Structure 1
């Protein structure tokens, strides 16, 4: 049986799509998925009216108490988990990781896991220059313009040791060996 650690940051962009994908994967497999949320991840789940969903679908989720609380980095470093997924990831968290800052639960977990052999998969929300369409908590479609600094940091993230940048929640099916049908 595989164990996956899935971290959620404070990004509203791609949160619904990622969440639906992870619930589908959970329902189709016997994977053990440990979910942890940054402080802002909790805020976004509530703002997008998904707080009740996560409590139902992943009742043992963990929320950030500090950069190393709950203690997730150690089990990831020693291989207790087969993979670390951070999806979606804010540009703020990407920038911190690129600069070597581990002052939040998610950034600390990524920086410490990268020192071991557990693979890390990250879905940054700012991947390419231009605009993206996203959905507000009220369901309104809106466009966001990507900033050069954020796209540049995503490119740097993709060059870091033991980190694979992914471009869509759908890639998680292949990464975790799950049939989409």
Structure 2
């Protein structure tokens, strides 16, 4: 892969782990990243005190000014990027993707990219029934219960054409042909 478009939604769950993996990939490869954030993605990055990090580590980033602004879908449809990665993806974004709602930058980019040949990879945070442990912005561990509707939507997303569901941030290494660091 030479170019990856990475979309970030408003999920605090797995944001730090995903960011660490993507930063490691960037450091270990010559892949060109274009990062774009939903409005809520920007909010979460600031809340988790990662806003300065993303500006420093991924200078080619864009923020949501509307469902088609900045214009990202076109270059993805015509193959300018080798892959579209949405990680992490909130239950809200996943539900919109499943039902064809394209009213945010991230969901519109997914809807339009799915019409072309660029592969789409989504790390949905609500995939497994039961509970998951995650961390609050202050670093405190917290347990979340997965709602059946959210897990069901993740399962539906995995069945959609041109979309591959990732189970965990570390799955990103295999996408780019890297071994996980020890």
Question: Which TM-score bucket, shorter chain as reference?
Answer: over 0.9
1:177 CA displacement: 1.1
Provide the C-alpha distance between the structure 1 equivalents of 2:89 and 2:112, rounded to a whole number of angstroms.
17
Could you list the runs of 5+ residues in structure 2 that have no partner in the other structure? Answer: none
Query: How many equivalent pairs are there?
Result: 181
Cα RMSD (Å)? 0.7
Find the counterpart in structure 2 of residue 87 from structure 1: 87
Q: Which runs of 5+ in 1 are unaligned?
A: none
Tell whether 2:106 aligns with 1:133.
no
2:44 counterpart of 1:44: yes
Q: Is 1:6 equivalent to 2:6 in the alignment?
A: yes
Give, in whole Å, the separation in 2 of the partners of 1:32 and 1:92: 28
Structure 1 residue 180: deviation in Å? 2.6
Structural mapping, 1:26-175, within 5 Å: 26-175=26-175
1:16 and 2:16 matched: yes
Cα offset, 1:137, TM superposition: 0.2
Shift of 1:93: 0.4
Per-residue CA distance 1:7-34 (angstroms, 9 max, x = gap): 0000000000000000000000000010
CA distance in 1, matches of 2:66, 2:123: 22
Q: CA deviation at 1:110?
A: 0.3
TM-score of the superposition, structure 1-length normalised? 0.99
Match of 1:142, SS? strand
Secondary structure of the residue that 1:144 maps to in structure 2? strand
How many Å separate the matches in 2 of 1:179 and 1:25? 10
TM-score by length of 2: 0.98
